[in-house]
Amino acid sequence: MGTVRATVVLDELVVAKVRQDFGGNLSKGVNTLLHKHLFEERRGKSMFGALKGRVSVKDLDELEREDEKAEREHDELYRRH
């Protein structure tokens, strides 16, 4: 099984806590937490534990709008050349 690059939006407090708990290595910390909560914990517990509630649907909608805007701008630049 390979790896996939993903973008994760985290609250600043979550970032600080993960960095503190994992010696400043944010990537390793997030990967470890996700793996632990997705595969190692018993069912019925919170899937994201410390990350739960830190990203809202509103945040995700805003990111989607930003991505669409960036894509439109990129398309306009591409057409000019």
Percent of the chain surpassing pLDDT 70: 74
Residues 18 and 12: their CA atoms lie apart, in Å, by 10
Asked if 41 contacts 50 with a C-beta cutoff of 8 angstroms, the reply is: no
Residue 44 DSSP symbol:
T
Q: Each residue of 8-42: pLDDT tens digit?
A: 888 899 899 999 999 999 999 998 988 888 877 65
Residues 30 and 51: their CA atoms lie apart, in Å, by 9
| Average pLDDT estimate for 1-6 | 77
Q: How far is CA 43 from CA 50, 52, 53, in A?
A: 16, 15, 18
pLDDT band with cut points at 50, 70 and 90 for residue 51 = low
pLDDT at 2 over 90: no
Predicted pLDDT of residue 60: 73
pTM listed for this prediction: 0.46
